Copies of this chain bind each other. A is one copy, B any other.
């Protein structure tokens, strides 16, 4: 649609993810003819819009190069409660914009009311500095597992499109107060965030959240200028990214350029026609995106990071060692992680090794867990299942079959890892 009526080349270079055999096959069925050589007009070389993307750490394994999307290995991920910036998963939708911090401006607009304000980076830093530790996760994390049930569209994420960081910046509610939008005045219903990353039609990446999350004292939405104590790196939204804790990564807009308080949700593709969940009976052919709410708070999830699927694990005195993470959206805390090696006949309780001290419903960080589980000496291989329970006592669904959705989001069934035993 973006390319309709004009040259398709800028589209190809921007959305490199679509330059693949499957798309070419689909297009082949739509071929209406071939241009004669004399009719071909030279298209201006649009160059590579990703040429100026930052250099990334070699431990980041790309799920896609242009736009850049990458995660680290599970073993590395569960090594530290705070994920180092250079190892934090990257989920970009467009090229990383180059932003001069000196000329950077953040616009704030309230629809229908003349209350527009503009803030420089220095202006923003004059507000009280707020700090939270929050896990961000892509709504497509662990999609690769759901894909095994039936194909889904989307990046082939393993279990590491998630990371935990300490974010510092300005409380969004403090900024909104300046233009008169407070908890007591929730007339307009949504807050939009527009990035400074542009597509070929010069449209920004954008998303929105409900107003309550933005103005509530327990919402903890932060316009972050620091990630783990240093300025936010270019891949994570330099100089300002919104951190909407407990909420899908897609609403945590990077390279923030504009905030709009509005009666309606953002009309962006990513808000309206992408990050939503559907029943297993819905596919591209029969989907009506207006029938599902945009994903905001994410459900409870967990994963085993050590050992990995297919790994040969040394049994030590009858035991194997496991490590992993668990997390829940909406400010809920993980209260328990259950593990089984015999398809649920016996459940073991993991030890919760690292947790933030914040209480629900403002507990934004993940939990790292570990366990030492007994295996019978005659076993040559074993399948480990993992499930978490959060402070609302919500738990994970068992299998992907019944939560399958064509976009491969909300992929939070039990994590199952089959390993070989060396004993």
A interface residue numbers (CB < 8 A to B): 183, 210, 212, 216-218, 277, 279-281, 292-293, 295-300, 329-330, 335-336, 338, 340, 344, 346-349, 359-361, 387, 389, 391-399, 401-403, 410
Contacts and interface: CB of A to CB of B under 8 A. Distances in A.
A344 B402 contact: yes
5 contacts: A279-B338, A280-B344, A299-B395, A330-B330, A395-B397
Contacts of A338: 279-281, 402
A284 B91 CA distance: 47
B349 A392 contact: no
A330 B292 CA distance: 20
Nearest to A410: B393
A183 B399 contact: no
Contacts of A399: 398
A286 to B, nearest CB: 11
Given A299-B395, A347-B402, 5 more contacts: A280-B347, A281-B346, A298-B392, A330-B330, A395-B397
Copies of this chain, complex-wide, total 2
**Pairs A-B, 4 closest by C-beta atoms:** A299-B394, A297-B392, A281-B347, A398-B398
A393 B277 contact: yes
A375 to B, nearest CB: 16
A22 to B, nearest CB: 26
Contact of A336 (B183, B279, B361): B279
A293 B361 CA distance: 14
Contacts of A401: 344
Contact of A281 (B216, B299, B349, B359): B349
A293 B216 contact: no
Q: Which of A183, A292, A361, A396 has its CB near the most chain B CB atoms (within 10 A)?
A: A361
A277 B392 CA distance: 10
Nearest to A282: B349
Contacts of A292: 335-336
A281 B402 CA distance: 26
Contact of A279 (B298, B299, B347): B347
Contacts of A210: 359-360
Contacts of A360: 210
A329 B330 CA distance: 12
Contacts of A298: 392-393
Nearest to A348: B281
Nearest to A392: B297
B279 A330 contact: no
Nearest to A216: B218
A410 B335 CA distance: 14
